[in-house]
């Protein structure tokens, strides 16, 4: 059993080299930069802070970029939109992509569910007399710009990479990127396209992490495995695509397929979510991390916990120590 890698996510809470050094001291091996809201050029300061922290601690760190890919997101809002349970709103109040609006118009009488912000907010289509697309708020919340969209049961075709993704790939070598995460992988063609873009940019050594985030990716898992370096069990959006109580079985299924094929896999999403605002995690969270390692995970990663949480170095401390304890248990 090789050492399980520990990844944090860059963001406002860990933009300082001093904080990042503490995270490396606590056991972090690498970082993820989410490019859904920014670019490599636009993140030059935090990338340099991370490199400075790694140098001062004396390690060569992994640097992974998470691209936009075919993921659907709302556009920019003038200000955050408060959606209250039970209210009826016009779809035009939310800056949906045109492809999503077309799908909602087609499904107006079918009560299509719309999940926003990793499922935190749920809407459902209703049709009014004037044939405008109206949405009922089933689960409310504060909606901010550029949050994710999922339409369970719908398949909206978009390119594997955006133009922004391609530009970031062209800049990947300059910023020392070691891996690319491809979101919402649907078929091997998505991964082949990413590999070609990397090769064309002179970045053939950069690894590809394939994120399983929907049922299409889950169903095509066997064909995806040979075309990536690591599979990512991305439980946030994957959990939006099925009944939540079915998610643990899906995670076990992916882990078993990767073990059988000799392919590394990562487990991510809400590993230590309670630590966004607490210094100590729940017992369920540390048990989840421990079991992911026993299932054979090659890496684990936290996202908002370090990017926007209040205790990024403590998050890495609990993540790293739980992983090391699981490794010790497995070797006994």
**What CATH code is carried by the domain that includes residue 98?**
2.40.33.10
Which residues are CB-contacts of 166 (< 8 A; sequence separation ≥ 6)?
Answer: 197
* Cα R_g (the chain), whole angstroms: 20
Q: How far apart are CA 312 and CA 13, in angstroms?
A: 7
User: What is the structure's pLDDT at 128?
Assistant: 54
Confidence of residue 131 (pLDDT cuts 50, 70, 90): low
Mark which of 131, 150, 169 sits at the end of a domain: 150
pLDDT tens, residue by residue, 227-277: 999 999 999 989 988 999 999 999 999 999 999 999 999 999 999 999 999
Could you tell me the strand order of the sheet in which 148-150 lies? 72-73, 148-150, 113-116, 121-127, 133-139, 88-90
Which of these, 112, 5, 126, lies nearest to 61 by C-alpha position? 5
More confident: 104 or 225: 225
Q: Are residues 310 and 174 in the same domain?
A: yes
Mark which of 125, 150, 175 sits at the end of a domain: 150
Which of these, 73, 123, 67, 120, lies nearest to 99 by C-alpha position? 73
Mark which of 86, 121, 150 sits at the end of a domain: 150
Q: Are residues 54 and 88 in the same domain?
A: no
Q: Most confidently modeled of 124-128, 172-176, 240-244?
A: 172-176
CB 60 within 8 A of CB 26: no
Strand pairing category for 133-139 and 88-90: antiparallel
CB 61 within 8 A of CB 109: no
Q: Are residues 107 and 65 in the same domain?
A: no
Burial of 131 (0-12, 13-18, 19+ CB in 10 A): exposed
pLDDT tens, residue by residue, 63-79: 999 999 887 889 899 89
Q: Are residues 65 and 85 in the same domain?
A: no
Q: Are residues 195 and 54 in the same domain?
A: yes
Confidence of residue 127 (pLDDT cuts 50, 70, 90): low
Q: Are residues 300 and 221 in the same domain?
A: yes
User: Global pTM?
Assistant: 0.85
Domain hosting residue 39, numbered range: 5-70+159-331
Which of these, 307, 324, 331, 330, lies nearest to 23 by C-alpha position? 307
Q: Are residues 93 and 229 in the same domain?
A: no
User: Which residues are 207's β-sheet partners?
Assistant: 179
pLDDT tens, residue by residue, 184-231: 999 999 999 999 999 999 999 999 999 999 999 999 999 999 999 999
Structurally, the chain folds into a number of domains equal to 2
Question: What is the percent of the chain where pLDDT is above 70?
Answer: 97
Q: Are residues 132 and 274 in the same domain?
A: no
Q: Could you say which DSSP state residue 172 is in?
A: T
Q: Are residues 145 and 172 in the same domain?
A: no
pLDDT tens, residue by residue, 22-64: 999 999 999 999 998 899 999 999 999 999 999 999 999 999 9
**What CATH code is carried by the domain that includes residue 300?**
3.20.20.60
User: What is the structure's pLDDT at 109?
Assistant: 54
User: How many residues does the structure list for the chain?
Assistant: 332
């Amino acid at each position: 059993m090789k050492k399980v890698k520990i990844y944090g996510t860059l963001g406002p809470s860990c933009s300082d080299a001093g904080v990042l050094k503490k995270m490396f001291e606590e056991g972090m091996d690498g970082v993820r930069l989410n490019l859904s809201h920014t670019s490599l050029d636009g993140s030059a300061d935090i990338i340099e802070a991370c490199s400075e922290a790694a140098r001062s601690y004396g390690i060569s760190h992994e640097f992974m970029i998470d691209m936009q890919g075919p993921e659907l997101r709302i556009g920019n809002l003038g200000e955050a939109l408060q959606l209250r349970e039970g209210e009826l709103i016009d779809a035009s109040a939310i800056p949906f992509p045109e492809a999503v609006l077309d799908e909602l118009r087609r499904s107006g009488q079918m009560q299509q569910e719309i999940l926003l912000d990793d499922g935190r907010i749920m809407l459902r289509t209703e049709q009014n007399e004037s044939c405008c697309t109206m949405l009922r708020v089933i689960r409310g919340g504060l909606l901010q710009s550029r949050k994710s969209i999922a339409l369970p049961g719908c398949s909206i075709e978009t390119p594997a990479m955006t133009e922004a993704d391609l530009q970031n790939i062209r800049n990947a070598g300059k910023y020392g990127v070691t891996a690319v995460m491809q979101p919402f992988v649907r078929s091997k063609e998505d991964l082949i396209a990413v590999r070609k873009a990397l090769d064309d940019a002179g970045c053939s050594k950069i690894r590809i992490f394939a994120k399983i985030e929907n049922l299409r990716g889950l169903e095509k898992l066997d064909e995806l495995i040979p075309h990536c370096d690591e599979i990512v069990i991305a439980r946030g959006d994957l959990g939006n695509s099925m009944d939540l109580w079915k998610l643990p079985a899906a995670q076990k299924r992916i882990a078993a397929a990767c073990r059988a094929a000799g392919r590394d896999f990562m487990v991510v999403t809400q590993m230590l979510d309670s630590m966004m605002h607490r210094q100590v995690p729940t017992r369920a969270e540390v048990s989840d991390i421990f079991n992911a390692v026993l299932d054979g995970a090659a890496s684990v990663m936290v996202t908002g916990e370090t990017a926007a949480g209040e205790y990024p170095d403590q998050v890495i401390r609990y993540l790293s120590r739980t992983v090391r304890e699981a490794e010790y248990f497995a070797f006994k």
